[in-house]
Structure 1
Amino acid sequence: EVIPAARHDELKLSGDQKERLAALQKGVDAKLAELLNDEQNKQISDMRSGRGRGGPGGPGGFGNRRPPDDIYRWELHCLDRATGKTLWSQTALESKPRIPIERSNTYATETPVTDGERVYAYFGMHGVYCYDFAGNLIWKKDLGAFPMSGGWGTASSPVLDGKRLFVLCDNEQESFLVALDALTGDELWRVARSESTSYASPFVWRNKLRTEIIALGSPKVRSYDPATGKQLWELTIGNGRCTASPVGNAEMLFVGLDAGGGGPMGRGQRGEDAGGEDSASGMFAVSAGATGDLDSRDGDAATGGVVWNSRQNGPTTASPLLYDGYIYIVKRDGGILTCLDAETGEQVYRKRIPGAKAFWSSPWAAEGKVYFADDAGTTFVIKSGPEFEVLGQNEIDEMVWASPAAADGAIFLRGVDHLYCIGE
């Protein structure tokens, strides 16, 4: 069944223990690849209640630096996972927008997150809202409104660690990372940040030694103690777009950015242009237990904590995928897919996916296959491992910007107008 979508945030499913949607655990239903190709297994629900990327030009961006005068509604919808039927809908806020957005963004780009009892929705500069599974508002929190670079709008999603909810709000005026009590919405701690506009979501890195909150910025990525907000380490990775979120395992964190200009996030620290010869675009690997200043701006793994740096292989919009010992990085434009060895950072291959358009959503993997959905609605199936091989492709008839979710043997794909459930 297809369910109306009209926005390009990621999906969050109750019962799915993954907080990031970059990868699926091994052992997920092996039939998912076959189900993607079978029209009889698709359920579709209409979600055209808001403006999607495929609609007319937006109110903000470089052509208009002021918020629109129209009244907008910020809504949260709960759907039955089996049927696509709407169980409840709540309007969190109805007002004029506080900031402008560019035409390729919306005011509902951030992904909700759930702890299995409550769901937390962050609408950028329009507040954080907590609901129970019956749709009752538990609490709400206004974190303020601040200008974003170029009027692009916001995109960073909240993350959970136990009873703490973390929100990263990097902007052009007063950047910060804040921890909220998930039960009450009370502020537990807040740390000021020198980085400016970022669209990357924070990452909860549960490594072999401790849990860390990773916040990607330009030019630095920083690690924080989730209990206190104390900074554990920092690493200069260069000026560029901060859109893709880090990934990690028990041993290492993998983080990077793209130093190209234009598009979301074209600036570094306030007043600095992205790109240029001094920009250290690429992927970095940081070992568990790192502390202090890990500055590696020369690109060498000469300081403690930095295991390797693969230059010129930084992600653009889609987050990198860590799967079976390899890191997959797909560029937003051109369909360029890079595969790195996670242990060494060595480039295994760099290939163009034939016929691919732009990639905004993050890839996912299952049963030895890696999936990439481009914005034209085509999902490409690539064989995992050191050899590049396109196993197949399938299509839906609309744009896809949101990263997919999977649960109970089904895949959920969100187009600009519909939500697709693909499964038996």
Structure 2
Amino acid sequence: MRNLFMKNSVKFIILIIITRMGLNFANSEEMNIWPQFRGPNSSGVAEGVSPPIHFGPGNNELWRLPLNSGHSSPCISGDSLFVTTFNESNKELGVVCISITTGKKQWEQIVQAKEIESGHPSFNPASSSPTTDGDRVIAYFGSYGLLCFGINGEKLWEVKMPLTKSFAGNATSPAIFDNRVVLYRANHVDHFLIAFDKYTGEEIWKIIQGEKFVDEMACTACPILFERTVIAHTARSVQGYDLSTGARRWITKCATTATSTPVIAGSKVIVAAWNKMGEPILRPQIPSFKELVKQHDKDNTGTISKNEFPRLWIFHRPLGSEAPLNGATVRFDRTDIDGNNQITESEWLKYLEVIEKFRSRYRTHGLIRIDLKSEGIVEENSIEVLANRGIPEVPSPIYHEGYVYMVKNGGLLTCIDVTSAERKYQIRTGSRGTHYASPIIAGQHLFTISGSGEIAVITLGPNPEVLSINDMNENVFATPAIVNGVIYVRTHGNLYAFGD
């Protein structure tokens, strides 16, 4: 009897161990989810523990995989990580699936486009991040359209679209909500918010946008979801749409190029509404004619010749000034009205009037907060402005436990208490230059990423400490992904996994 009891006890203990192992494995698989640009609902906040604070090539490196170019961010489900790529030599687009365990390619699908879209010098034709629900992956290219592949790489459906045309490049990303794939697409060819059946690719609804698309628009924000409302950061507005029908529930107009993705903070949505003239630092002071002559009239003629004319900015991004096309200068030929190669005081005064009239068309931008239960037209006096300085152009804001963080060019990091709208701090992270990637959070750490490849790790809360700056030795424009304490960083030439 005793032997029987012992045998049964051993079996019971083994059963418990196996069950716990199974539950741990299942929980691990469940935690391996980063379904779209910047993770769950584009929040940027990872479940579980933080990756190591010190990492880089050869330091806490789990694996490295060379990749074709692309700025798309990874999405992850289970053991599968997905990115899009662009082979510059043969002009081929691609969707790649990689095992996060081994760092090896599981499959790759080549996408042949008749023509490749162009854009800003910092743009790449594989800039749009894919999205996955664990059974399929959806990829979008402005050069081709929307494609759906099964988890093993078989093509399930596609929706071809016209080649996009824009100054910036069409770097928008799709998202899967319930049984729908939602995409916001804006360029000179077309401008709409659209939903497809994720199983068949059949169009469910399509909302043509009335706002005129212009070159200064980016329109790269990824849609997010609150309950059954799709939140879309669109050209000069933020809008809420019914997921099932596409009916618009609310809209608010704001001074925005719709570059960054909104973030949910309780019952509100926070949006970084940016435009190129939105704050004083972007509008450098232009000297009076007296000052201009005093500083630059080398031949003492009382006028300014072309050789004497300095570089002056109509608008300029002083932080991250190494980026291409980072502003617009005052042109001598437009100032020299009579064409005699000399600028007189009257000509200068006339042109200053033109510049001020141009600048006056732009409203102050800001970090704004909108009630998610809004209805109809949300007037300006119903919008809360949390900040109107230090607004990032590209990186999306991120929210965590009562604070919203935003980082802009030059590594300027701002933390705001969303309850009081009080700015808790504004510091330099130590990461230099232009910032394209959005910040992410894991554990009690905030990760910010510079375009030059420096990833700063900062403590959360109102009293920040910069714990480390990790140099990837390559440019990084893609927002990393974090699952199970591992950070996946896409540089311009490689995909890395870093963990303890």
Query: Which category describes the TM-score, using the shorter chain as reference length?
Result: 0.7 to 0.9
Give the counterpart letter for 2:231 in structure 1.
I
Give the counterpart letter for 2:136 in structure 1.
R
What CA distance in whole angstroms lies between the structure 1 residues aligned with 2:180 and 2:358? 33
Q: Secondary structure at the match of 2:257?
A: coil
* CA-based RMSD: 2.8
| Structure with larger Rg | 2
| Aligned-pair CA distance for 1:38 | 7.1
Contact 2:177 2:225 in 1 (8 A): no
Aligned position for 1:321: 398
Contact 1:242 1:258 in 2 (8 A): yes
What CA distance in whole angstroms lies between the structure 2 residues aligned with 1:253 and 1:369? 22
Aligned position for 2:292: none
> Match for 1:78 among 85, 91, 97?
97
What CA distance in whole angstroms lies between the structure 2 residues aligned with 1:113 and 1:384? 28
Give the counterpart letter for 1:343 in structure 2.
T
What CA distance in whole angstroms lies between the structure 1 residues aligned with 2:71 and 2:479? 15
**Deviation digits for residues 76-100 of structure 1 (CA, Å, limit 9, x no counterpart):** 1111111111111111224322x32
Is the alpha carbon distance of 1:373 and 1:94 closer, same or farther for their aligned partners in structure 2, counting shifts above 3 Å?
same
Any runs of at least 4 consecutive aligned residues in structure 1 with deviations exceeding 6 A, and if so which?
Answer: 262-267
> Match for 1:137 among 155, 161, 175?
155
> Match for 1:114 among 132, 144, 156?
132
1:406 aligns with 2:424: no
Is the alpha carbon distance of 1:291 and 1:21 closer, same or farther for their aligned partners in structure 2, counting shifts above 3 Å?
closer
> Match for 1:352 among 417, 425, 428?
428
Aligned position for 1:384: 460
What CA distance in whole angstroms lies between the structure 2 residues aligned with 1:275 and 1:226? 38
Is the alpha carbon distance of 1:227 and 1:216 closer, same or farther for their aligned partners in structure 2, counting shifts above 3 Å?
same
Is the alpha carbon distance of 1:392 and 1:293 closer, same or farther for their aligned partners in structure 2, counting shifts above 3 Å?
same
Q: Secondary structure at the match of 2:53?
A: helix
Pairwise mapping of residues 151-300 of structure 1 onto structure 2 (< 5 A)? Answer: 152-195=168-211, 196=213, 197-206=217-226, 210-238=227-255, 240-260=256-276, 276=360, 278-296=362-380
Give the counterpart letter for 1:171 in structure 2.
N
Is the alpha carbon distance of 1:141 and 1:244 closer, same or farther for their aligned partners in structure 2, counting shifts above 3 Å?
same
**Deviation digits for residues 72-124 of structure 1 (CA, Å, limit 9, x no counterpart):** 21111111111111111111224322x32232111110000001100000012
What CA distance in whole angstroms lies between the structure 2 residues aligned with 1:264 and 1:161? 36
Give the counterpart letter for 1:327 in structure 2.
V
What CA distance in whole angstroms lies between the structure 2 residues aligned with 1:140 and 1:274? 43
| Aligned-pair CA distance for 1:153 | 1.2
Aligned position for 2:53: 33
Give the counterpart letter for 1:337 in structure 2.
L
Give the counterpart letter for 2:59 in structure 1.
E
| Aligned-pair CA distance for 1:352 | 2.2
| Aligned-pair CA distance for 1:22 | 4.5
What CA distance in whole angstroms lies between the structure 2 residues aligned with 1:383 and 1:191? 42
Give the counterpart letter for 2:193 in structure 1.
L
What CA distance in whole angstroms lies between the structure 1 residues aligned with 2:400 and 2:57? 23
Contact 1:242 1:265 in 2 (8 A): no
What CA distance in whole angstroms lies between the structure 2 residues aligned with 1:401 and 1:70? 21
Give the counterpart letter for 2:160 in structure 1.
D
Give the counterpart letter for 2:45 in structure 1.
L
Contact 2:94 2:111 in 1 (8 A): yes
Contact 1:337 1:350 in 2 (8 A): yes
Is the alpha carbon distance of 1:245 and 1:355 closer, same or farther for their aligned partners in structure 2, counting shifts above 3 Å?
closer
Is the alpha carbon distance of 1:337 and 1:245 closer, same or farther for their aligned partners in structure 2, counting shifts above 3 Å?
same
Aligned position for 1:23: 44
Question: Which structure has the highest helix share of the two?
Answer: 2
- TM-score normalized with structure 2 length: 0.69
Give the counterpart letter for 1:129 in structure 2.
L
1:330 aligns with 2:407: yes
What CA distance in whole angstroms lies between the structure 1 residues aligned with 2:415 and 2:60? 34
Gaps of 5+ in 1: 1-12, 54-68, 268-272, 297-301
1:46 aligns with 2:66: yes
- TM-score normalized with structure 1 length: 0.81
**Deviation digits for residues 192-236 of structure 1 (CA, Å, limit 9, x no counterpart):** 112324332333232xxx322122123211111111111111111
What CA distance in whole angstroms lies between the structure 1 residues aligned with 2:327 and 2:206? 26
> Match for 1:367 among 443, 449, 452?
443
| Aligned-pair CA distance for 1:343 | 2.2
Contact 2:442 2:482 in 1 (8 A): no
Is the alpha carbon distance of 1:177 and 1:341 closer, same or farther for their aligned partners in structure 2, counting shifts above 3 Å?
same
**Deviation digits for residues 287-306 of structure 1 (CA, Å, limit 9, x no counterpart):** 2211111121xxxxx33xx3
Contact 1:213 1:225 in 2 (8 A): yes
Give the counterpart letter for 1:105 in structure 2.
F
What CA distance in whole angstroms lies between the structure 2 residues aligned with 1:214 and 1:423? 34
Contact 2:449 2:476 in 1 (8 A): yes
What CA distance in whole angstroms lies between the structure 1 residues aligned with 2:358 and 2:493? 34
Gaps of 5+ in 2: 1-30, 73-87, 277-314, 317-323, 329-356
1:87 aligns with 2:106: yes
> May I ask how many residue pairs the two structures share in their alignment?
375
Is the alpha carbon distance of 1:174 and 1:232 closer, same or farther for their aligned partners in structure 2, counting shifts above 3 Å?
same
Give the counterpart letter for 1:292 in structure 2.
G
| Aligned-pair CA distance for 1:52 | 7.5
Is the alpha carbon distance of 1:403 and 1:337 closer, same or farther for their aligned partners in structure 2, counting shifts above 3 Å?
same
Aligned position for 1:310: 387
**Deviation digits for residues 310-348 of structure 1 (CA, Å, limit 9, x no counterpart):** 2234331111111121111111x2221111112232222
What CA distance in whole angstroms lies between the structure 1 residues aligned with 2:231 and 2:397? 15
| Aligned-pair CA distance for 1:407 | 1.4
